[in-house]
Homo-oligomer: A and B are copies of this chain.
Amino acid sequence: MSVAIMCSGGDSSGMNPAIKSFVDNCYEKNITPYFIYDGFEGLIDGNIKKASHEDVAGIMHLGGTIIRTSRSKRFYEYECRQIAYKNLQKFGIDKVILLAGDGSFKGFNQFSEEFDISFVGIPATIDNDIYGTDYCLGVDTSLNIIKHALDEIRDTSASFKRAFVVETMGRDCGYLALISSIISGAEVCIIPEIKYNLNTLEEKLKKELDEGRAYILAVVAEGTKQTQHIKEWFEKNFDIETRVMILGHIQRGGNPTVFDRLMASEFVTLGLDKLIANEKTKSVIAYKGSEFIFINIDTVTQNRYTINSKLLKMVKKLTR
């Protein structure tokens, strides 16, 4: 039996441990593992190779993905998907593990229906915005990198009377900003999920500054597009030197944390078992509560992720 693994969309830390776990598991179970390089682009271009133990030696501690990823426009075209299918046929592959976000899941679902390919999607995006799962691979590593950066910014902030506006990734989802605010003791948290009120915040912060607060840390989710606005608000209303820090792509890299390595191993082991056991499956493996469950692909792509209300409540005081 042949199974292939591929990535699509933005990379996240934990993909490499997943790839290593995939190859090790396959050989243990007498399955032939294949790599599809460069995401859907590589699928179309036939960039497919049998994977060996050597390919995955010493990759556990690497961020990113050794089989690379891509964003593909060509995959929207039927002709390209047809070529992709023929490429898989050449290697006798009809089962695929896909490390990606829900956009890519949707794209691959169409392909799998057209050409009868089984697949299990492993949620892997630092945005943590996939319906049905509490956790997407790479989020813990991202958060620890953000933590590290915020710790360093605190050091330098404490040296000046100053405000810092730090923008985190996450597209439309405020998860990274929310958790980062809590664990760094930020004073302000601006995320798409909560309507903020600068008037009450202003009053509260002015009082704290009067009482001796040395600096202010605001974490802003990129999805709000409010980074510049918050900066100007500080400068205008507080007369305090304000610096913006766009954390950017360092959030995607980094040595995968213990949690991401462990999740990578569990996602892959269970996903592979599912593909082996069933004739046909088009599902996403989700981490819900503390259980791993399989969710039909349509349920995942047709619903929208929302941050749970308990977490939202935890930062409410940082938004108004």
Chain A residues within 8 Å of B, Cβ to Cβ:
7, 11, 13, 15, 17, 20, 38, 58, 60-66, 68-70, 134, 140, 143-145, 147-149, 151-161, 164, 179, 182-185, 214, 243-246, 248-250, 252-255, 257-259, 261-262, 265, 289-291, 314
| Min CB gap A57→B, angstroms | 9
Chain B residues closer than 8 Å to A179, beta-carbon distance? 258, 262
- CB of A60 within 8 A of CB of B184, answer yes
- CB of A243 within 8 A of CB of B253, answer no
Chain B residues closer than 8 Å to A15, beta-carbon distance? 159
| Min CB gap A176→B, angstroms | 10
Assembly CA distance A190 to B306 (angstroms): 42
Assembly CA distance A248 to B70 (angstroms): 28
Chain B residues closer than 8 Å to A160, beta-carbon distance? 11, 68-70
- CB of A254 within 8 A of CB of B152, answer yes
Q: List 24 A-B residue pairs with CB atoms under 8 Å apart, sorted by A's residue number.
A: A11-B160, A15-B159, A58-B158, A63-B156, A64-B157, A68-B159, A69-B159, A70-B161, A134-B290, A140-B258, A147-B261, A151-B255, A152-B249, A153-B250, A155-B253, A156-B249, A156-B253, A183-B258, A243-B249, A245-B246, A245-B249, A259-B259, A289-B289, A289-B291
Number of copies: 4
> Which one of A17, A68, A152, A155 has the highest number of Cβ atoms from chain B below 10 Å of its Cβ?
A155
- CB of B62 within 8 A of CB of A155, answer yes
- A11-B159, A64-B159, A257-B144 known; A250 and B69 CB under 8 Å? no
Chain B residues closer than 8 Å to A290, beta-carbon distance? 134, 289-290
Q: Which of B144, B244, B253 contacts A258 (CB 8 A)?
A: B144
Assembly CA distance A257 to B259 (angstroms): 11
Q: Which of B64, B157, B245 contacts A248 (CB 8 A)?
A: B245
> Which one of A11, A152, A252 has the highest number of Cβ atoms from chain B below 10 Å of its Cβ?
A152
Chain B residues closer than 8 Å to A70, beta-carbon distance? 160-161
- CB of A159 within 8 A of CB of B60, answer no
Given contacts A144-B258, A147-B261, A152-B250, 19 further A-B contacts (CB under 8 A): A15-B159, A38-B161, A58-B154, A63-B155, A63-B156, A64-B156, A69-B159, A69-B160, A134-B290, A143-B258, A151-B253, A152-B249, A153-B249, A156-B252, A182-B262, A245-B248, A245-B249, A259-B259, A290-B290
> Which one of A17, A145, A160 has the highest number of Cβ atoms from chain B below 10 Å of its Cβ?
A160
